[in-house]
Structure formats: structure tokens, C-alpha cells
């Protein structure tokens, strides 16, 4: 099972949030004893032999292939974020915007639709309206928490609902449990994507209320220092992509760029974050 992060550490009931946020995703180096996570600058990674390389490229075996896809340093960051969010896998990227673009484009394409809260960060609004709009994806904005409006705006082409836990800049709070319940009750259920940047997993974990995908701009409170950009896509493993393989074809149908691998089969616990990793 390639690329799937293993937040087993987070499942230890002895390890609470404060421990996870400092230690999850990395163990002290057994050779040097170094406790700090080193920055692995390598773009290339060595294979044991051709079979080892083939298995890793074919997603049949976990391990580093190439630094754009996986890198031990960024994977440790991702595993730590997955642990504190209660996710099954995650991808750490260069910014919150990068996380949003990757998360969205792994599910939507030309002709698809999105229903989004109207209480969103301006840059995110621009992604929906202009970046995705120019690519042929239509977003309908509805009043935050007007669940009837979310349902009414949903069509057979709708691929996801999108909200911010605490809207930027209105600081209004999305009713994620109610939204997830409504999204799951649709004749054709849709995943709810939640930008949890303003709440942070310390205060609220959308995974626990059934959100399918969580987005974080690590630049803000998770980074906490205003010095470094970062973003994360967290897979909660909560959405059943195989319930409608035609609709969720990016996850539930064979992927030609991975020799026909089906992400929902090769990484059943975290198919979404695995696809984000594998396709970036």
C-alpha cells in the first residue's frame, strides 16, 4: 500500500493532542539518536533493485520514489497533521492555496459543479470563481449554514460541498455535523470538504463529524510564527467513493497514469490523499 501515511502513533490512547502535535509522524533517528526531524533535501531516492523500483512506482509497495511525490521530511509533517486532525492520511504542500487546488482538482473537472459557503477567504473565493471557473467548473455560492440552499443548489453534476469551519473574515461558524448529515442524505451523497484553518485541530476536528476532506493553511495558527508558508490536505477516510464509481471515477476507476491502479483499492483507508500525493 503505497504512499499511505500510517498515523498508528495517533491511535495510542496514551498519546494526547499535546504529545501528538510535537512527536507524531517522526521517531528519533536510530543511527544518530537525533530527536529533531531533519530536512531531507534529496530529490532522488535509491531503489534496492529494479523490482523494488517497479513495485514502488506501481503503488504496490510504500517508499520514496521522487521528491515531488514523497519526501521523508514533508511526509512527517503530513503524518503529524493527520494525527492531530484524526485523519487516515495527509499530504503536506507549499501553501494553503496549493492544498486547495490539489484537493479540488483531484475530484472536479470541466462540467462538474461545486456548492460552496459564501463565507470564504477571498483567495479561496477566487479559486472557485476564476481559477476553476476558467477550467469549466461551476461553483454556486450559498449562504453559510443555509442547509436547504446547499441541497437546492446541488445537481447530479455536484461533486462536493465546501465550507470553512470558521469563515475568514466573518468568523462565523459552519455547522459541519448538519452539513455532513444533509450531504450524506442526498439521493447521491456528496463529500463535504472543510477548510479548518481558523479553528485548528486543537479546537475542532471535522473528521470526527464526518467531513470527507480537511484543508489546512499551515501558514496560520498551525505554523504559529508567521514565518513559513505551508498547507495540508487531510483524508478522513470517511467517504465511500466506491458507492458510485462513475461519479467518483478519479478514485474508484482504474487510473491510466498508474497502470490501471484504482486508488480506492490500493489505499482503501486513505484513497484521496494517496491520489493527491501520487498525481502531484
Nearer to ligand PLP, 53 or 123 (CB): 123
Whether residue 90 contacts residue 234, with contact meaning beta carbons closer than 8 Å, is answered with: yes
Nearer to ligand PLP, 101 or 149 (CB): 101
Nearer to ligand PLP, 115 or 222 (CB): 222
Q: What is the smallest separation between the CB atom of 58 and ligand PLP, expressed in angstroms?
A: 33
C-alpha to C-alpha distance for 77 and 74, rounded to whole angstroms: 5
Q: What is the smallest separation between the CB atom of 162 and ligand PLP, expressed in angstroms?
A: 11
Phi and psi based region of residue 165 (left: phi greater than 0; alpha: psi -120 to 50; beta: remaining): alpha
Nearer to ligand PLP, 113 or 195 (CB): 195
Taking CB positions, which residue lies at the least distance from ligand PLP?
A: 96
Q: What is the smallest separation between the CB atom of 194 and ligand PLP, expressed in angstroms?
A: 10
What kind and span of H or E run contains 7? none
Nearer to ligand PLP, 94 or 147 (CB): 94
C-alpha to C-alpha distance for 18 and 165, rounded to whole angstroms: 22
Q: Any residues with CB less than 8 A from the CB of 4 and at least 6 apart, and which?
A: 62, 88, 89, 267, 269, 270, 273, 274
Nearer to ligand PLP, 217 or 274 (CB): 217
Q: What is the smallest separation between the CB atom of 232 and ligand PLP, expressed in angstroms?
A: 10
Cell of 102: 490539489
Dihedral over alpha carbons 239, 243, 247, 248 (to 10 degrees): 40
Work out the end-to-end distance of the chain between its first and last CA atoms, rounded to an integer number of angstroms.
Answer: 18
Which is it for the CA torsion 251, 257, 260, 261, positive or negative?
negative
Centroid of chain to Cα 159: 15
**Residues at the contact surface with ligand PLP, assessed by CB under 6 A:** 95-97, 121, 123-124, 164, 168, 195, 197-198, 217, 219, 229, 231
Q: What is the smallest separation between the CB atom of 163 and ligand PLP, expressed in angstroms?
A: 11
Q: What is the smallest separation between the CB atom of 262 and ligand PLP, expressed in angstroms?
A: 30
Q: What is the smallest separation between the CB atom of 146 and ligand PLP, expressed in angstroms?
A: 20
Q: What is the smallest separation between the CB atom of 52 and ligand PLP, expressed in angstroms?
A: 36
Nearer to ligand PLP, 1 or 229 (CB): 229
Nearer to ligand PLP, 26 or 198 (CB): 198
Amino acid at each position: 500500500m503505497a504512499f499511505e501515511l500510517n498515523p498508528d502513533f495517533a491511535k495510542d490512547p496514551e498519546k494526547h493532542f499535546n504529545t501528538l502535535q510535537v512527536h507524531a509522524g517522526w521517531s528519533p533517528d536510530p543511527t544518530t539518536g537525533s530527536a529533531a526531524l531533519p530536512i531531507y533535501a534529496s530529490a532522488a531516492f535509491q531503489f534496492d533493485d529494479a523490482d523494488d523500483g517497479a513495485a514502488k512506482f506501481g503503488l504496490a509497495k510504500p517508499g520514496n520514489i521522487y521528491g515531488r511525490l514523497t519526501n521523508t521530511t514533508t511526509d512527517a509533517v503530513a503524518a503529524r497533521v493527520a494525527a492531530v486532525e484524526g485523519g487516515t492520511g495527509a499530504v503536506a504542500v507549499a501553501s494553503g492555496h496549493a492544498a486547495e487546488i490539489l484537493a479540488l482538482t483531484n475530484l472536479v473537472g470541466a462540467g462538474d459543479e461545486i456548492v460552496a459557503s459564501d463565507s470564504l477567504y477571498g483567495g479561496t473565493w477566487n479559486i472557485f470563481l476564476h481559477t476553476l471557473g476558467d477550467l469549466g467548473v461551476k461553483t454556486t455560492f450559498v449562504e453559510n449554514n443555509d442547509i436547504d440552499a446547499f441541497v437546492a443548489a446541488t445537481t447530479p453534476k455536484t461533486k462536493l460541498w465546501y465550507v470553512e469551519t470558521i469563515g475568514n473574515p466573518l468568523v462565523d461558524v459552519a455547522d459541519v455535523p448538519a452539513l455532513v448529515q444533509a450531504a450524506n442524505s442526498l439521493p447521491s451523497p456528496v463529500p463535504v470538504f472543510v477548510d479548518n484553518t481558523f479553528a485548528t485541530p486543537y479546537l475542532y476536528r471535522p473528521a470526527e463529524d464526518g467531513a470527507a476532506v480537511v484543508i489546512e493553511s499551515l501558514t496560520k495558527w498551525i505554523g504559529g510564527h508567521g514565518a513559513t508558508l505551508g498547507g495540508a490536505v487531510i483524508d478522513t477516510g470517511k467517504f465511500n467513493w466506491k458507492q458510485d464509481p462513475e461519479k467518483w471515477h478519479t478514485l474508484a476507476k482504474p487510473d491510466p497514469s498508474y497502470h490501471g491502479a484504482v486508488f480506492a483499492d490500493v489505499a482503501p483507508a486513505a484513497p484521496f490523499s494517496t491520489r493527491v500525493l501520487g498525481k502531484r
